[in-house]
Structure 1
Amino acid sequence: MNFAGAYSLHNGQAEWEKRELSDWLTDLFEAPGIAIGSRCTSRIREHLKDELTASGWTHNVRIEQNCDLTVTGRYRDLAFQIQTGNVSRAFYDLMKMQYLYLEHKIQAAALAVPTKAAAARINSNIASAERVWSEVQMFDRIITFPLLVVAFE
């Protein structure tokens, strides 16, 4: 698995850089021992869980105490979400992060998704960075938080 690129909405890149976590975030995806393909998602998630935990992030954080909805990780005023499933889940993830932003629980977030080519190797109808980025730009008045879409392959 390798970092393939990032897309910034509402100064998302600047927010991660301001916290000196931009390089750390992209380095999460420099894991050559993880091959992208069928049934790789549990290995990717385990790798990210280990890396987040080692860096002081809270893993699988509920967005509200009385609710079962979670984000992959939270650290101070940041949220991180990985999506290796159906494309519809990526937009659901964006809604959860928008909620956290509107509730003043975060100031910025990152959504990690595979590139189109990597998504095709994982399964069919998997969220891809290209599709998410294309559609996020269309909804930039609805998705108002600083966002970094991280692409990996």
Structure 2
Amino acid sequence: MKFVSAFSLHNGNAEWQRRELDEWLTDLFEAPKIAIAAGCTAKIRSHLKDELTNAGWAYNTRIDADSDLTVTGMYRDLAFQIQTGNISRAIYDLVKLQYLYTQKKIEAAALAVPTKAAAEIINSNVAHSERVWKEVQLFDRIITVPLLLVSFE
């Protein structure tokens, strides 16, 4: 697995840079021992869980005490979400990140998804950066959280 690119919405990249976590975030995906293949999502998630918890992030964090909805990780005023499943889940993830932002629980977020080529290898109809980025720009007045969309393959 390797980092490919990042797309910034509402100055998301600047927020991660300001905290000096932008390179750390993209380096999470520099894991050459993890091959993109069918059934690789458990390995990706395990790798990210280890990296996040070792860096002091809360893993699999509820977005609200009265809900079972979670994001992959939270650290101070940042949230991180990985999506390697169905495209509809990525849109749902954006809603969770937006909720955290409107509730003033975070100031910025990152969503990581595979590239289109990697998504096609993982499974059918998997969220991918090309589609998510296009849709995020379409809904930029609804999704207002400063967001960094990270793509990997």
TM-score (norm 1): 1.00
Q: Which string of whole-angstrom CA distances, capped at 9 and with x for unpartnered residues, describes residues 13-50 of structure 1?
A: 00000000000000000000000010000000000000
Residue aligning to 1:90: 90
Percent of pairs with identical residues: 71
Q: Which runs of 4+ in 1 moved over 2 A?
A: none
Q: CA deviation at 1:126?
A: 0.1
Residue aligning to 2:132: 132
Letter in 2 for 1:26: T
Q: CA deviation at 1:66?
A: 1.2
Mapped partners of 2:77, 2:133: distance in 1 = 23
SS in 2 for 1:39: coil
Aligned residue pairs: how many? 153
Residue aligning to 2:61: 61
Q: Which string of whole-angstrom CA distances, capped at 9 and with x for unpartnered residues, describes residues 66-96 of structure 1?
A: 1000000000000000000000000000000
Letter in 2 for 1:42: A
Residue aligning to 2:104: 104
SS in 1 for 2:136: helix
Q: CA deviation at 1:51?
A: 0.0
Residue aligning to 2:12: 12
Q: CA deviation at 1:144?
A: 0.5
SS in 2 for 1:66: coil
SS in 2 for 1:8: strand
Q: Which runs of 5+ in 1 are unaligned?
A: none
Q: What is the Cα-based RMSD across aligned positions, in Å?
A: 0.3
SS in 1 for 2:32: coil
Q: Which runs of 5+ in 2 are unaligned?
A: none
